[in-house]
Amino acid sequence: MIPNDFIQTLLSRVDIVEVIDRHVPLRKAGANFVACCPFHSEKTPSFSVSPTKQFYHCFGCGAHGTAIGFLMEHAGKSFPDAVEDLARDAGLEVPRVEREGDKERREEAADLSGILLAAARFYRAGCARRPTPSTTSSRAVSPARLRRVSASAMRRMAGKAWPPHSPSTRIPRSRPRAS
């Protein structure tokens, strides 16, 4: 989460006139800057940017906001992206604060990855163990044994076509009932 006081600092360090002028060329009109509104279609400018208040406001459609709001509304940026962009321009680094529950969630994730790691080690240790005469009778099939089995099975099948019906899967026909 981005701390609120950083947002305030950031807004005081950037100039909304410069930010908006990059997207919508502004013209000075008295104390403010104006342009045709980028948020609605118009021929005479009712979009006004105040350098003293650091706000934009449209008297035509009511669009209103800060430099961050403008980047979100006009450039379609997310709030963190808009903050990140402005901070980069201002030479500031965006600080992050932890939200409630972040620490717990991180610990849970660490626990889970620990379990997965242990399971992976256990599995690898099991696979690495070579079958010895005393363990070949066990029902566990090592990957190496499985590969040997499939190779010999494939060699057997290579010369034969699949039988159209194996006796075990053939559906028995119903016989005419003896009356």
DSSP string, 87-153: HHHHT-PPP--PPTTHHHHHHHHHHHHHHHHHHHHHHHHHHHSPP-TTTTTSS---HHHHHHHHHHH
Per CB under 5 A, the list member of 6, 9, 36, 39 interacting with Zn ion is: 39
Shortest distance in whole angstroms from residue 61 CB to Zn ion: 3
Q: Checking DSSP bridges between strand 64-65 and strand 55-58, what pairing results, if any?
A: antiparallel
3-state class (DSSP) for residue 163: coil
Q: Give the footprint of Zn ion on residues 56-115 (CB under 5 A).
A: 58, 60-61, 63
Per CB under 5 A, the list member of 13, 40, 130, 148 interacting with Zn ion is: 40
Cβ-based nearer residue to Zn ion, 63 or 86: 63
Cβ-based nearer residue to Zn ion, 67 or 83: 67
Candidates 32-40, 76-84, 103-111, 145-153: pick the segment binding Zn ion (CB under 5 A). 32-40
3-state class (DSSP) for residue 9: helix
Interface ranges with Zn ion (CB under 5 A):
37, 39-40, 58, 60-61, 63
